[in-house]
Structure 1
C-alpha cells in the first residue's frame, strides 16, 4: 500500500512565487539598456524580482519543514485538517479573476474607465451595496489619481476607446 504524501500550501504558494520571480528576473535582461545611464530602467524590475526570489527561497524552506511536519502527523494518525480546499481558494481566485479582467480592460477601454468598472464591481462584490457611496468613492479615487499622475507627475496613463 502506497501512502499518499501531502504538500503544505505554503510550499505551493512560495514555489509559485519563486518561479514568477525567476521569470521576471530573466525577463529584465531583455529590457533595453543605455550606456550613458548610471542606473538603467531594467534595474528596478531586476531588484524587485531578486527580492522576490530571496524571500520565496526562505518561504520554500519553511514550506518544506511544514510539509514534513504535516506528513509526520498523518503517519502518526493525528487528525489533520486539509489546508487546501476549493472553499478556501474560492475568494482569492475570484479576486485574481477580477484583477486579470481589470488588466485586460486597461488597454481596451482605458485606465480611468476600467478603474471605474473594476472599483464598482469589486466593492459591490465585497458586499457594500450603497451605489451612491460607491460612486462617491470611485469619483474621489479617479480625481485623486488624475491629479497625482496626470497633473503633478505629468504621467501619461493608458488610453482606450473612450479616453
Structure 2
C-alpha cells in the first residue's frame, strides 16, 4: 500500500496560500480606480484572492484529514521509511517557495508569458513522479496556460500583464 507522500506539502502549501490570499485581498484596497464603472481594477484580484482562499482552505482540510490517516498507518509500517519521505516533502516545499520567489522577481524582466511558462514547467517537473514525467506535455501545458491567461486578461478584462523582454 503506497501512502500519499505529499500531505505535509499540501498542509504547508495550503497555509502559505491562505496567507498569500489574505495579503492579496488586503492589498487590493490600495488600487487606484481608473474608470467610473462599479467594477474597477480591484474586482478581479479580489475574486482571485477569495477563490484562492477557499480552495486553499479546502486543500488544508483534506490534507489534514489525510495526514491524520497517514499517522495511524505510519505506526503500523515503521518510522524509518516515512521519515525519509517527510524530509523529501520539506525539501519540496522549500524548493517550491524558492521557485515562487524567483518567479516574482523575474516577472518584471522576462514578462508574464515567459516567466509563467518557465515557472509552470519547472514546478510540474518538480512535483511529478519520476515514472510520470513528460517534459513535452509539461511544456505544452505551460505554454497553453500562460498564453490563455494572458489573452483573457488582455482581451476580456482589458488588463495588461507585464510584457517584459517580449515588449
**TM-score interval, smaller chain:** 0.5 to 0.7
Correspondence for 1:84 = 86
Tell me which residue corresponds to 2:47.
Answer: 47
Q: Distance in 2 between matches of 1:56 and 1:13?
A: 8
* Unmatched segments (≥5 aa) in structure 2: 1-6, 126-142
What is aligned with 2:129? Answer: none
- Aligned pairs, how many? 127
Look up the match of 2:27: 27
Give the TM-score taking structure 1 as reference length.
0.53
Query: Where does structure 1 lack aligned partners over 5 or more consecutive residues?
Result: 1-6, 127-140
In the other structure, the counterpart of 2:131 is: none
Deviation of the 1:36 alpha carbon: 2.4
Local SS of the residue matching 1:39: coil
Call closer, same or farther: CA 1:159–1:66 in 2, change over 3 Å. closer
- Kept after mapping to 2: 8 A contact 1:8/1:70: no
Secondary structure of the residue aligned to 2:62 is helix
User: Structure 2 length normalisation: TM-score?
Assistant: 0.52
RMSD across aligned positions (CA)? 4.4
Q: CA deviation at 1:95?
A: 9.5
- Return the alpha-carbon distance in structure 1 between the equivalents of residues 11 and 161 of structure 2: 40
Question: CA-to-partner distance for each residue in 1:104-135, whole Å, 9 max, x for gaps?
Answer: 34545x649x949x96xx89xx8xxxxxxxxx
1:4-153 map, 5 Å: 8-33=8-33, 36-74=36-74, 76-79=75-78, 81-82=81-82, 83-86=85-88, 89=91, 93=95, 96-97=98-99, 100-101=101-102, 103-105=104-106, 107-108=108-109, 111=111, 115=114
| In 2, Cα distance between equivalents of 1:92 and 1:46 | 27
